[in-house]
């Protein structure tokens, strides 16, 4: 089977891993439709996949995970750099030699009784100068099926790889099977879950979990943690950002990248349907952007992924019709409810829940049930090219030119609806200051406020202080006129009574409109202590029926709140010690001076 593999490094590595993991068989994935069909039937037979009603949801499947394997586990995610200082205070560090021993112990014989799948994949359009190749070895057919949607994978990638380099991504669910032992429908090993990244070797080892970013190693592990290290060395940016194309009524198109923590509505914004006549949004990507300077000195972005791994709950024909259409067929659903008709349902999908269904736990469920039908971090996996508003340039090998970068968090107070940074360095400070109320995308207490610089806290593969310095260096290396402008947004402000002040979803178009009009040179902003705010007569609230008080609250600068927060920010930043660039403290001091 491996005879067809020309790449020496790949052959040697796979052989070594076969020795280590002792699988019953090895299978090299070609990425074909037939292969997908065969693997999904196997998954149906083993009870991992439930085949959904072909008439309602063609070629689609439901998987229910083990209830203790439902999200990324940040506590068990490590960066194995030589020196602890190089991963910084916001990452879990481990010694590379010790972690190698630990992983070899965990992986020893871990694929007994299972198939070892070898998945060659490309992050980025095949053959794009910005694309990078990885190979994931896994013992999970569920992972193979998801990787086929999320990445370009199979034979074509091997053809491109030839003798070139790739990122080895080693994955196992960590549940060897004894002779004749019946398999679980979701094999995993939560007690021993461990995800380690080796930035120097540029390799990834993940054991024990089959879920999302723990197991689909092209995504957060490669395209963010390892790629951020590559990007720093090669002077580009690997970011947790969506990418959209925005066309104004005159037909002028701009591309915008936006960074939000997991489960803060990136997929909704990426597929937004404009309620404003003449304005149109198209989607290049919903989660990750790789950005590099083009020959013209502008920053160009590609989406390294080929599919969406979107949060299901809350997605509806009202909140995100394009996402609903994207997962209308050829999709995999994980941890959502199953209706009596053999279709899927989750909280928020319809106003009226079905009278009866089977919950993500496999239990009978009615609207009166105490537990939710879908897990809060349940997901749909769907091909990007099924998105009705996919951008015509989404697979452009050169990427799309970025005019603006947005940072957003989930904040019920303090941070206004939108403001523009005063310049690149201030924008880097704004990104560094990002904090957000926690969601179910990672383990932790939902709702707790946490700092999440650049929405990269769980995804930066090196010291966050050095990461800030890298962003500053990118700014210095460019022609300031050609750099994207930087903005902060917050869709989640609440009144004292706890009601959302801003309608959000499609109406976020109004904020994007204001940004785009400014980029076209419209005199639509005024300088404030925190940055440029919209001039009120240039911010479109037509038809929204917002009260004067609400509008005021959306753009209010609570000086005390800001001063308190900036002081807290100083404490937060102090943990980066000598790795914290001087410019960041300068920006913090300037902000405080402007506020006082
Ligand atoms: O599980 S993933 O890391 O892929 C999703 C997310 O947290 O953004
Ligand atoms: Mn994400």
Provide φ and ψ at 16, rounded to 5°: -60, -40
Q: C-alpha distances in angstroms, 124 versus 222, 455, 502, 589?
A: 12, 21, 35, 40
The edge-to-edge listing of strands for the beta sheet with 364-365 is 344-345, 337-339, 357-358, 364-365
451 lines ligand 1 (CB under 6 A): no
Q: How many angstroms separate the alpha carbon of residue 537 from the centre of ligand 1?
A: 39
338 lines ligand 1 (CB under 6 A): no
Nearest to 484 by CA among 476, 493, 492, 475: 475
| Of the options 3.90.228.20, 3.20.190.10, 3.10.450.50, 3.40.50.150, the CATH number for the domain spanning 238-307+391-558 | 3.90.228.20
Residue 443 has pLDDT above 80, yes or no: no
Provide φ and ψ at 144, rounded to 5°: -60, -50
Residue 440 has pLDDT above 90, yes or no: no
Domain ranges of the chain: 2-50+69-234, 238-307+391-558, 308-383
Question: Among 110, 145, 264, 387, which one carries the catalytic annotation?
Answer: 264
Q: Indicate the pairing of strand 237-239 with strand 332-334.
A: unpaired
454 lines ligand 1 (CB under 6 A): no
Which pair of tokens denotes residue 576? 């980066």
Residue in this structure with the two tokens 């707790």, named with its chain if needed: 448
Question: DSSP state, 461?
Answer: S
| pLDDT for res 80 | 98
Q: How many angstroms separate the alpha carbon of residue 353 from the centre of ligand 1?
A: 26
Q: Are 492 and 411 a contacting pair, CB within 8 Å?
A: yes
Is 264 known to be catalytic?
yes
225 lines ligand 1 (CB under 6 A): no
Residues whose CB falls within 8 Å of the CB of residue 568, separated by 6 or more in sequence, listed in order = none
How confident is the prediction for the chain on average, in pLDDT?
A: 97
β-sheet bridge partners, residue 26: 116
Q: State if pTM tops 0.85.
A: yes
| Of the options 2.170.8.10, 3.50.50.60, 1.20.210.10, 2.160.10.10, the CATH number for the domain spanning 308-383 | 2.170.8.10
Rounded CA Rg of the chain: 24
Per-residue pLDDT, averaged over 566-574, amounts to 97
354 lines ligand 1 (CB under 6 A): no
CA–CA distance, 589 with 114 (Å, rounded to integer): 58
Q: What angle do CA 135, 137, 140 make, to 5 degrees?
A: 130
Task: Identify the residue whose C-alpha is closest to ligand 1 atom 3.
Answer: 213
- pLDDT, tens digit, for every residue of 354-406? 999 999 999 999 999 999 999 999 999 999 999 999 999 999 999 999 999 99
Q: C-alpha distances in angstroms, 301 versus 8, 104, 373, 476, 519?
A: 32, 37, 37, 19, 18
Q: Are 403 and 255 a contacting pair, CB within 8 Å?
A: yes
Task: Identify the residue whose C-alpha is closest to ligand 1 atom 2.
Answer: 213
| Of the options 3.30.930.10, 3.40.449.10, 3.20.20.140, 3.40.50.720, the CATH number for the domain spanning 2-50+69-234 | 3.40.449.10
Task: Identify the residue whose C-alpha is closest to ligand 1 atom 4.
Answer: 213
Residues whose CB falls within 8 Å of the CB of residue 542, separated by 6 or more in sequence, listed in order = none
Q: How many angstroms separate the alpha carbon of residue 211 from the centre of ligand 2?
A: 14
Per-residue pLDDT, averaged over 165-177, amounts to 98
CA–CA distance, 257 with 129 (Å, rounded to integer): 20
| pLDDT for res 448 | 85
- Determine the atom of ligand 1 nearest the C-alpha atom of 442: 7
Question: Which bound ligand lies closest to the C-alpha atom of 442?
Answer: 1
Per-residue pLDDT, averaged over 407-434, amounts to 97
240 lines ligand 1 (CB under 6 A): no
């Amino acid at each position: 089977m491996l005879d067809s593999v020309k790449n020496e490094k790949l052959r040697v590595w796979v052989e070594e891993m076969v020795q280590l993991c002792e699988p019953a068989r090895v299978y090299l994935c070609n990425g074909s439709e037939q292969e997908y069909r065969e693997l999904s039937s196997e998954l149906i037979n083993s009870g991992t996949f439930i085949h959904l009603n072909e008439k309602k949801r063609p070629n689609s499947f439901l998987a229910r995970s083990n209830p203790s394997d439902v999200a990324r586990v940040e506590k068990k995610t490590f960066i194995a750099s030589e020196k602890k200082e190089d991963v910084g205070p916001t990452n879990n560090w481990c010694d590379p030699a010790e972690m190698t021993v630990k992983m070899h112990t965990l992986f020893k014989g871990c694929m007994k009784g299972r198939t070892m799948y070898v998945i060659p994949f490309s992050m980025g359009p095949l053959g794009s100068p910005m694309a990078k190749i990885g190979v994931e070895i896994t013992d999970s057919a569920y992972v193979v099926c998801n990787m086929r949607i999320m990445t370009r994978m199979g034979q074509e990638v091997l053809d491109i790889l030839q003798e070139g380099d790739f990122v080895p991504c080693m994955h196992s669910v960590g549940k060897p099977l004894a002779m004749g032992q019946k398999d679980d429908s979701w094999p995993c090993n939560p007690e021993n879950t461990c995800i380690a990244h080796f930035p120097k070797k540029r390799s990834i080892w993940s054991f024990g979990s089959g879920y999302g970013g723990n197991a689909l190693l092209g995504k957060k592990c490669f395209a963010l943690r390892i790629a951020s290290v590559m990007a720093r060395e090669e002077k580009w940016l690997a970011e947790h950002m969506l990418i959209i194309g925005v066309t104004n009524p005159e037909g002028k198109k701009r591309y915008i990248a936006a960074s939000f923590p997991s489960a803060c509505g990136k997929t909704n914004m990426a597929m937004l349907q404009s309620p404003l006549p003449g304005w149109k949004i198209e989607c290049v990507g919903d989660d990750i952007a790789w950005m590099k300077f083009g020959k013209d000195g502008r920053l160009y972005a590609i989406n390294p992924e080929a599919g969406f791994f979107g949060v299901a709950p809350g997605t509806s024909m009202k909140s995100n019709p394009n996402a609903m259409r994207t997962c209308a067929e050829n999709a995999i659903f994980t941890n959502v409810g199953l209706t009596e008709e053999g279709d899927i349902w989750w909280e928020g999908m319809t106003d009226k829940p079905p009278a009866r269904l089977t919950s993500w736990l496999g239990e009978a469920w009615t609207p009166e049930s105490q537990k939710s039908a879908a897990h809060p971090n349940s997901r749909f996996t769907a091909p990007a090219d099924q998105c009705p508003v996919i951008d015509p340039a989404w697979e452009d090998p050169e990427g799309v030119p970025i005019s603006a970068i947005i940072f957003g968090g989930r904040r019920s107070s303090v941070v206004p609806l939108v403001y523009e940074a005063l310049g690149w360095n201030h924008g880097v400070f704004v990104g560094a200051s990002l904090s957000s109320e926690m969601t179910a995308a990672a383990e932790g207490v939902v709702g707790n406020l946490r700092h999440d610089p650049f929405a990269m806290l769980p995804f930066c593969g090196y010291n966050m202080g050095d990461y800030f310095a890298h962003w500053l260096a990118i700014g210095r290396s460019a022609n300031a006129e050609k750099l994207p402008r930087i903005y902060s947004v917050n869709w989640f402000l609440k009144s004292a009574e706890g009601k959302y002040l801003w309608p959000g979803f499609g109406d976020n178009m109004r904020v994007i409109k204001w940004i785009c009009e400014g980029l076209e040179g419209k005199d639509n902003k005024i300088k404030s202590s925190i940055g440029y705010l919209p001039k009120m007569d240039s911010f479109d609230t037509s038809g929204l029926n917002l009260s004067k008080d609400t509008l005021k609250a959306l753009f209010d600068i609570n000086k005390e709140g800001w001063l308190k927060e900036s002081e807290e920010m100083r404490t937060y930043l102090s943990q980066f010690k000598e790795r914290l660039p001087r410019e960041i403290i300068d920006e913090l001091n300037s902000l405080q001076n402007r506020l006082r």
